[in-house]
Structure 1
Amino acid sequence: MPLLALGAAAFGIGTTEFVIMGLLPQVAADLRVSIPQAGLLVTGYALSVTFGSPFLAIATARMDRRRALLLLMGVFILGNLLCALAPSYWLLMGARVLTALCHGAFFGLGAVVAASIVLPGRKAQAISMMFAGLTLANVLGVPAGTALGEAMGWRSTFFVVVVIGFAAAAALAAFLPRRLPIPAVSLAQEARSLGSRQVILAMLISILSSASLFGVFTYIAPLLTQVTGLTTHGVTLMLLLFGVGLTCGNFLGGRLADWRLMPSVIGVIAFIIPLLLLFTFASRAVVPAAVTLFVWGVAAFTLIAPLQMRVVNEAAKAPSLASTLNQGAFNFGNAIGAWAGGLALTFGVPYGDLPLMGAAIAVAALVLAVLSHLMDVRVRRAAPEARPAPALGPS
């Protein structure tokens, strides 16, 4: 039940993060801005997660973890209420920034809590169960929110997310253990742990993998309408299909992380590169676009749990802060991807060619993943007894 409560909160957070992409045309028209400018709402949210969440993680480091998670949900509810009421583009941007502050800190702390309440050998699967709420947001929350926004206006979607936030907070209050351990915190020790080469490499891989995804997915609604020729109803169904793929990939990633972590990361990224190249052609027809979009969803979210585990394992002396910072890394990648895609569109790149940019970014992620794995192999061969046992699973 604690994992389900964490998943319910993740569902609400994921819905408010991703639903804006399906609502970009409506938001842009209502607030009288261009679609690339509306796309900056994704960038602003992601940058707030990247640079704001670590401060919240530090501020709540000495708090009881249950209380800290409930406080973060309170910030989430307030931020979404302000999104629903925002009368202008810049006030909506400010509300999105406030909402995003809780995102990275919640997922970072929630991942550590999820891993701490299960048996060894199932910790990555526990993390993936919490992140299942994020993927289900793409299966249910985003398509339903997009359809609701089209029918009743985009503001109605954010009012519903506020209700979801209250329900998730109630579940957390009811089912989280009353006493979760408060770790001893030494900021100097945590900073040293976070400065290792492997931690930095893992976060860079997280950034690039997310940039590869969001450089295309941020603009998926106009891509599917203008290139594939779908109606807005068809876009909703495509988002549903993509969300099913994300959910499948999330659970697959948890099992792969508990099995062989870095080889799995390398294999998945290597698979994503030709898949995005294929999407450039597949997006021109409905059935090939649907199949490719589903498979891309599976592959994209297969990376989440392994990369989260990798960072926590390599920063064993700073698990909560490292977990939060990696959520910031994912969202920094989101921001870079959304910005790069918008910049490409501004300079005349057609929507159908955006997957080429995503594939190029994935190549850079693959290079870093191979480098990180080779460093592991070199350390094990040189002094296998000197390498400490991982904190939450195999690396």
Structure 2
Amino acid sequence: MDSPARRWLAILALALGGFGIGVTEFVTMGLLPNIAADLLPAQYAADPAAANAQAGWLVSAYALGVVVGAPTIAAAAARWPRKRLLVLLVGVFVVGNLLSAILPSFELVLAARFFSALPHGAYFGIASLVAASLMGPGKRARGVAFVLGGLAIANVVGVPIGTHLGQSFGWRSTYLLVTVIFVITLIAIAITVPLRPGDPGATLRNELSAFTRVQVWLTLLLGSIGFAGIFAVYTFVAPVVTDVTGLDEGFVPWVLVAFGVGMTVGTFVSGWLTDRSVKLSLTLGLLGVGLSVLAFALTAQTVAGLLISIFFIGIFAGACSPAVQTRLMDVSQNAQSIAAALNHSALNIGNSLGAALGGVVIAAGFGYLSPAAVGVALAALGLAVLTVSFTLDRRARLRA
């Protein structure tokens, strides 16, 4: 039997993987103007806003890689031993981030970001299942929250440091740092994570059966919509700092710290709350997204307003993920591997959609705060989808 010390070391190793993923996913937002200036120099010189909007496709490409990779890998590898699968997935992160650091053109870096993202959802899905089993009964959502907590802490420490590093030594140095983090993660998982067999009864057909359930689709939809509202705003936070609030780019890492602290608080509070009421956690999360994004639009012209509103956006970004993850595990029945991974497909559809919609309204000339209006509308739509899901639940119970 695994000792308590080894179990916690294993959970920390899994969280370190979440930390690395958090850095590689979110640091692009803070370095967007630097990447645009380097990879799109002519366009940046003529129209910085348009170049930043185009560089936002790097965020969308990563998100689309998650969407493609999560269900494909999780369904195909559900019967694999989980430790072996985790090591393989982290190895793909190592290669993908190294390519992001060294490839010379915007188009090739775009492709590298897509490739880097393929293991994202499957890693979080399998790592969450392993952590939940290590935590034991009644602490499932807290196990999920520990793994996702690595991602949240990345926004407090890793993303600001990576942003500062990229601003000082070139954005490519940041992706080299991320590569090193994943090499360490691979070694840590290989040493500490106990052997866990895959599900011997899992088949591709059983895993794909999750897509036949209406509640799975509704949960995916509300997760996508909620995160789209967040990322319509957060993708373009760096130009908001410099062009709206009127601060130097050196202040961007501090804004990212505020977001990361909020995300860390939201993730762990949501883990505790979701173990008590999934529905309450989801409702408060989506409502909070709409209100915090609205506050950002109204107050980001001031330093205090910018920091406070981005902190609360971070809280509700962190709160949504464990709740959506647990809801998917509840409604997927015997398709646990794909359900755990699909959470990250949903959230990254939201990332991609939010970045794209935010870029559209900015490129149309409405300014860097205009994506907040998109965010409020999307949060309201997410609450409507959640209401439909709860109503169907209630009717099913009455019929039973």
| TM-score when normalising by structure 1 | 0.94
- 1:379 matches 2:396: yes
Q: What is the rounded CA distance, in whole Å, between the counterparts of 2:210 and 2:341 in structure 1?
A: 14
What is the letter of the counterpart of residue 24 of structure 1? Answer: L
Question: Is 2:354 aligned against 1:337?
Answer: yes
Q: Which of the residues 29, 37, 41 maps onto 1:29?
A: 37
Other-structure match for 1:191: 208
1:5 to 13, 16, 36: 13
Letter matched to residue 352 of structure 1: L
Partner of 1:115: 132
Match of 2:66 among 49, 61, 65: 49
- Runs of 4+ aligned residues of structure 1 deviating over 3 Å after TM superposition are 179-183
Q: Distance in 2 between matches of 1:189 and 1:104?
A: 19
Contact kept, 8 Å, 2:329 with 2:340, in 1: the verdict is yes
1:103 maps to which residue?
120
User: Which amino acid counterpart does residue 365 of structure 2 have in structure 1?
Assistant: G
Equivalent position of 2:189 in the other structure: 172
C-alpha separation in 2, matches of 1:12 and 1:116: 22
Maintained 8 Å contact 2:209/2:335: no
State the shift of 1:289 in Å.
1.5
- What's the offset of the Cα at 1:181? 4.2
Report the aligned-residue RMSD.
1.3
Match of 2:244 among 189, 214, 227: 227
Question: Where does the alignment leave 5 or more consecutive residues of structure 1 unmatched?
Answer: 384-395
- The one-letter amino acid of 1:14's match is G
1:213·1:358 contact (CA, 8 Å) conserved in 2? yes
Which stretches in structure 2 are left out of the alignment for 5+ residues? 1-8, 44-50
Deviations 1:209-234 (A, max 9, x none): 11011111000110121111121121
**What are the residue-to-residue correspondences of 1:97-176 with 2, within 5 Å?**
97-176=114-193
Cα distance in structure 2, aligned partners of 1:299 and 1:325: 20
Q: Which residue identity lines up with residue 37 of structure 2 in the other structure?
A: A
C-alpha distance in 2, partners of 1:349/1:377? Answer: 42
| Residue in structure 1 matching 2:228, options 211, 215, 233 | 211
For the 8 Å contact 1:65–1:182, the answer to whether it is kept is no
* Contact 1:263 1:373 (8 Å CA) reproduced: no
The two structures have a TM-score, normalised by structure 2, of 0.93
How far apart are 1:261 and its partner, in Å? 0.6
Match for 2:272 among 255, 261, 266?
Answer: 255
Deviation for aligned residue 1:382? 3.4
Q: Post-superposition shift, 1:381?
A: 3.3
Distance in 1 separating the partners of 2:58 and 2:12 = 29
Contact 2:79–2:203 under 8 Å retained in 1? no
SS of residue in 1 equivalent to 2:135: coil
2:285 corresponds to which letter in structure 1?
V
- Aligned residue for 1:316, secondary structure, equals coil
The percent of aligned pairs where both chains have the same amino acid is 40
The residue identity in structure 2 corresponding to 1:25 is P
For each residue in 1:218-258, what CA deviation from the matched residue of structure 2 results, as whole angstroms up to 9, or x when unmatched?
00110121111121121111111110000000001101110
Residues 48-85 of structure 1: CA deviation (Å, up to 9, x unaligned)? 11013322223322221100000000000000111110
Q: Which one-letter code corresponds to 1:97 in the other structure?
A: F
Q: For 1:352, what is the secondary structure of its paired residue?
A: coil
Structure 1 equivalent of residue 311 of structure 2: 294
SS in 1 for 2:118: helix
Separation of aligned partners in 1, 2:222 and 2:67: 15
Distance 2:105 2:303 in 1: 36
Residue 61 of structure 1 corresponds to 78
CA distance in 2, matches of 1:261, 1:57: 24
